[in-house]
């Protein structure tokens, strides 16, 4: 039955254009505290500030939970050409409150097409959802005819669906199927927490209508809720499709990697525009809350009010001087500056002992979304009376091209190996003094092709002449600084990074990258120039990398990266310029799992090389595809994963290391964010593993844990 329905629907048309109206609303339920007996400070006869009480009551009426509302309205035109081309043009947008987590504010992420076997919604679900019309849907769903509805001369079958296997990404609810035409007329299904990324429950209602002989989606609604401690957020998004044009003739090259664009006037539409395009009126409750919010907006955006806010913000208080720092904002000029507080002047732990000194920052933004940022700090040490400092200037000059440049100068300590075990970064042997001037530039040349380059002059010297505090040297296993004669190094770097078929949408002053299903390829060249400005380095280092995220049906997603490189010119390579690899943590941090896409978990040393090398990493998240088959495990929210990696270093006696790890992870709500905690068993082997065991080195079998916060922008973790 399902294959027949899918075949009929797929043959209806080759493409269409339609108008789409989206209204998303978020409301909030807060569990009220139980009313307590009056406290001693509320005893009869105790004086009260009546004006303050009145002020708080008015504030509660205006800003309280009962008037709290997040709302967004969007009007756009959607263009579709089968099988996989789409483009939307957003013509109107208005919002109230903070609607960032309201679901479905664009069609560029794809529609809920139940005629497809798998429904991939990366912004909603960790794995593709199995459609009840999947050719082998009988393996994932149970079907039951629960009602036969007469509609004119035709009949509607109401079919109940439910998951057959708790390990699959399935839904439950009802399908409404028209008998003689074998098409869906309505869908009402629900997803529950487990593989949902941020919601606890999610309901999808989709309605179809017939245009002449063609069936199209006319309306869909999403209802969802999420509970945070004592607050529950309820969301509802209604999407109305109208004015269909079937099989339009699109201009040549109309469909590109740009999936959406927003017209300049979209954010400035007035109430007249929305009254004309809004197909469903706002409810009385929404109108009331909108009125309150509009009133608040009118008050809070007045120049007089903003000036009063800035006056409070800019006021210098003892607490700001002592702890928070002094800030000054000019809203009209879009500038803000900061000076460090007295507490920030003191740096209790520094290289060479305690230090003291001020820092500051200046920021300015323009209407076209360009901005600059200037930051600086200066310190002097108590032990050595040595001045240090840095200044940096950054300018984002073309937001749509991600184009910006940085200029900096510093007299400051630097790390020889900046990415190594935590305790190794503070070793004196990993630190040197670096006087440098440099500049960097980044730009997107064409869609998906990014070019980065830097140029820097450095005067490198040892810190062996500094006096150090040695109170904790034994506990930290501290060592001596690296001794060497000062020398100059002039270097340049060039990097090209390309992601084919990168999808994106454009806003009036910016570009939003949506990603690609293709790998990202990168090449990097670093050149040390002999003779330039007295530079004594002379080398060419070339490297490449390939990395990608792949969705493997309902079995989860794989991340992999492959990197390699070599010094093709080795005339003069100093230790600082060699290629380093992160060693595994020991002592205090030995149980922490580092990012497995860029490091190894049991690497026994911080290897470095000037010869060629090759390394690879992969990690696969099953997202419950296996573990959920165990009874009751789906309710625990625990997910399984597997990963591994290897590295080959010919310079170190053809050193070869490989590792494999298995783990489980669970995501928790944490302060309105998603915190993922994982536990992993790591197994590793290297061609040096047959030597006598060293108690100070990582073991071949280890247990480690990780803590990771989901990025709110792309709803992804670091690995």
Give the integer Cα–Cα distance in Å for 288 and 292: 6
pLDDT tens-digit map of 356-404: 999 999 999 998 899 999 999 999 999 999 999 999 999 999 999 999 9
Contact (Cβ atoms closer than 8 angstroms) between residue 397 and residue 419 = no
Give the integer Cα–Cα distance in Å for 456 and 537: 13
- Closest by CA position to 516, among listed 448, 616, 563: 448
Give the integer Cα–Cα distance in Å for 182 and 655: 63
Instruction: Count CA atoms within 13 Å of residue 100 on its CB side.
Output: 7
Give the integer Cα–Cα distance in Å for 677 and 654: 36
Mean pLDDT of the chain: 88
pLDDT band at 36 (very low <50, low <70, confident <90, very high): very low
How many residues can be counted in the chain? 719
Mean pLDDT throughout 316-321? 92
- Closest by CA position to 191, among listed 207, 209, 204, 175: 204
Give the integer Cα–Cα distance in Å for 100 and 385: 50
pLDDT band at 179 (very low <50, low <70, confident <90, very high): confident
Contact (Cβ atoms closer than 8 angstroms) between residue 74 and residue 93 = yes
What are the residues facing 236 on neighbouring strands? 25, 223
Phi and psi of 650, rounded to 5°?
-60, -30
Model confidence at 97: pLDDT above 90: no
Contact (Cβ atoms closer than 8 angstroms) between residue 412 and residue 389 = yes
CA 614-617-621 angle, to 5 degrees, is 170
Tell me if residue 217 falls in helix, strand or coil: strand
Give the integer Cα–Cα distance in Å for 107 and 580: 44
* Domain ranges, ordered by start, for the chain: 2-35+46-299, 308-536, 575-719
pLDDT tens-digit map of 565-603: 999 999 999 999 999 999 998 888 889 999 999 999 999
212-225 as b/e, with b when 16 or more CB fall inside 10 Å?
eeebebbbbbbbbb
pLDDT tens-digit map of 538-554: 999 999 999 999 998 88
CA 690 to chain centre: 42
Which residues 6+ apart lie within 8 Å of 265 measured at CB?
A: none
Percent above pLDDT 70 for the chain:
91
pLDDT band at 195 (very low <50, low <70, confident <90, very high): confident
What are the residues facing 125 on neighbouring strands? 196
Distance in angstroms between the alpha carbons of the first and the last residue of the chain: 40
Phi and psi of 163, rounded to 5°?
-70, 135
Task: Compute the chain's Rg from CA coordinates.
Answer: 31
**Helix/strand/coil percentages in the chain, nearest 5:** 15, 50, 35
Give the integer Cα–Cα distance in Å for 260 and 640: 36
pLDDT of residue 50: 39
Give the integer Cα–Cα distance in Å for 258 and 248: 19
Tell me if residue 281 falls in helix, strand or coil: coil
Give the integer Cα–Cα distance in Å for 218 and 206: 8
Instruction: Count CA atoms within 13 Å of residue 30 on its CB side.
Output: 8
What are the residues facing 458 on neighbouring strands? 436, 489
- Closest by CA position to 545, among listed 519, 582, 569: 519
Which residue shows structure tokens 């007329």?
185
Give the integer Cα–Cα distance in Å for 580 and 603: 12
pLDDT of residue 166: 66
Contact (Cβ atoms closer than 8 angstroms) between residue 461 and residue 388 = no
Contact (Cβ atoms closer than 8 angstroms) between residue 655 and residue 611 = no
Give the integer Cα–Cα distance in Å for 589 and 82: 53
Comparing 435-439, 508-512, 562-566, which segment has the lowest mean pLDDT? 508-512
pLDDT tens-digit map of 404-435: 999 999 999 999 999 999 889 999 999 999 99
Which residues 6+ apart lie within 8 Å of 281 measured at CB?
A: none
Comparing 136-145, 166-175, 255-264, 685-694, which segment has the lowest mean pLDDT? 685-694
Mean pLDDT throughout 176-180? 89
**Residue 321 per-residue DSSP state:** I
Take residue 563 and report the two structure tokens written for it.
């990197």
- Closest by CA position to 340, among listed 315, 353, 323, 319: 323
Helix locations, 393-449, DSSP H? 422-425
**Residue 689 per-residue DSSP state:** T
Contact (Cβ atoms closer than 8 angstroms) between residue 330 and residue 313 = no
pLDDT of residue 46: 46
Helix locations, 603-650, DSSP H? 633-636
Model confidence at 697: pLDDT above 70: no
DSSP per-residue codes, 531-578: SGGGB--EEEEEEEEEEEEEE-GGG-EEEEEEEEEEEEEEEE--GGGS
Comparing 153-157, 291-295, 335-339, 649-653, which segment has the lowest mean pLDDT? 291-295
Take residue 248 and report the two structure tokens written for it.
């339009």
């Amino acid at each position: 039955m399902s294959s027949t329905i899918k075949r009929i629907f797929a043959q209806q048309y080759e493409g269409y254009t339609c108008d789409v109206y989206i209204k998303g609303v978020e409301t909030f339920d807060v569990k009220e505290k139980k009313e307590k007996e009056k406290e001693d400070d509320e005893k009869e006869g105790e004086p009260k500030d009546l004006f303050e009480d009145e002020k708080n009551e008015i504030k509660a009426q205006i800003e309280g939970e009962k008037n709290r509302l997040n709302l967004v309205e969007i009007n756009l035109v959607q263009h579709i050409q089968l099988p996989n081309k789409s483009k939307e043009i957003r013509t109107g947008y208005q919002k109230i409150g903070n609607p960032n987590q309201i679901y479905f504010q664009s069609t560029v992420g794809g529609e809920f097409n139940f005629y497809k076997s798998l429904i991939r919604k990366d912004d909603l679900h960790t794995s593709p959802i199995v459609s009840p019309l999947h050719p082998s849907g009988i393996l994932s769903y149970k079907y039951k005819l629960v009602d036969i509805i007469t509609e004119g001369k035709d009949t509607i079958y109401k079919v109940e669906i439910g998951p057959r296997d708790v390990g699959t990404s399935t839904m439950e609810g009802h399908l409404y199927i028209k008998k003689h035409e074998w098409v869906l007329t309505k869908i009402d299904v629900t997803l529950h927490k487990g593989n949902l990324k941020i919601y606890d429950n999610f309901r999808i209602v989709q309605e179809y209508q017939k245009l002449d002989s063609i069936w199209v989606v006319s309306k869909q609604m999403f209802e969802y809720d999420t509970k945070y401690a004592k607050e529950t957020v309820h969301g509802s998004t209604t999407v109305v499709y109208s004015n269909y044009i079937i099989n339009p003739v699109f201009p040549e090259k109309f469909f590109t990697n740009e999936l959406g664009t927003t017209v300049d006037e979209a954010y400035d539409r007035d109430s007249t525009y929305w009254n004309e395009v809004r197909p469903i009126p706002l409810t009385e409750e929404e109108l009331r809350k909108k009125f309150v919010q509009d009133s608040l907006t009118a008050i809070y955006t007045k120049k007089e009010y903003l000036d009063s806010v800035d006056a409070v913000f800019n006021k210098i208080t003892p607490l700001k001087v002592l702890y928070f720092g002094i800030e000054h904002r000019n809203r009209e000029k879009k500038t803000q500056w900061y000076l460090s507080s007295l507490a920030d002047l003191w740096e209790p732990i520094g290289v060479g002992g305690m230090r003291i000194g001020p820092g500051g920052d200046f920021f300015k933004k323009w209407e076209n979304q360009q901005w600059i940022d200037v930051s600086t700090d200066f310190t002097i040490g108590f032990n050595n009376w040595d001045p240090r400092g840095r200044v940096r200037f950054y300018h984002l000059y073309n937001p749509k091209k991600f184009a910006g440049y940085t200029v900096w100068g510093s007299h400051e300590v630097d790390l020889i190996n900046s990415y190594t075990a935590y305790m190794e970064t503070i070793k004196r042997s990993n630190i040197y003094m670096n006087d440098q001037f440099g500049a960097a530039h980044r730009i997107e040349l064409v869609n998906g092709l990014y070019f980065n380059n830097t140029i820097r002059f450095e005067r490198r010297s040892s810190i062996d002449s500094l006096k150090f505090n040695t109170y904790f040297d034994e506990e930290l296993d501290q060592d001596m600084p690296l001794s060497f004669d000062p020398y100059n190094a002039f270097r340049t770097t060039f990097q090209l990074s390309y992601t084919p078929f990168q999808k994106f949408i454009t806003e009036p002053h910016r570009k939003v990258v949506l990603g690609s299903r293709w790998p990202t390829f990168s090449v990097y060249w670093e050149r040390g120039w002999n003779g330039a400005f007295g530079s004594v380095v002379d080398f060419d280092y070339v490297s490449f990398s390939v990395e990608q995220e792949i969705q493997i049906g309902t079995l989860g997603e794989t991340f992999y990266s492959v990197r390699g490189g070599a010094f093709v010119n080795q005339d003069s390579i100093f230790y600082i310029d060699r290629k380093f690899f992160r060693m595994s943590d020991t002592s205090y941090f030995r149980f922490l799992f580092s990012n497995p896409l860029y490091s190894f978990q049991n690497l026994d040393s911080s290897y470095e090389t000037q010869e060629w090398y090759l390394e690879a990493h992969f990690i696969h998240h099953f997202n419950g595809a296996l573990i959920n088959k165990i009874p009751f495990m789906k309710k625990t929210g625990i997910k399984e994963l597997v990963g591994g990696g290897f590295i080959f270093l010919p310079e170190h006696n053809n050193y070869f290391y490989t590792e494999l790890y298995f783990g489980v992870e669970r995501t928790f709500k944490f302060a309105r964010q998603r915190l993922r905690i994982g536990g992993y068993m790591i197994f590793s082997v290297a061609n040096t593993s047959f030597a006598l065991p060293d108690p100070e080195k990582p073991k071949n079998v280890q247990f480690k844990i990780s803590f990771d916060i989901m990025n709110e922008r792309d709803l992804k973790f670091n690995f």
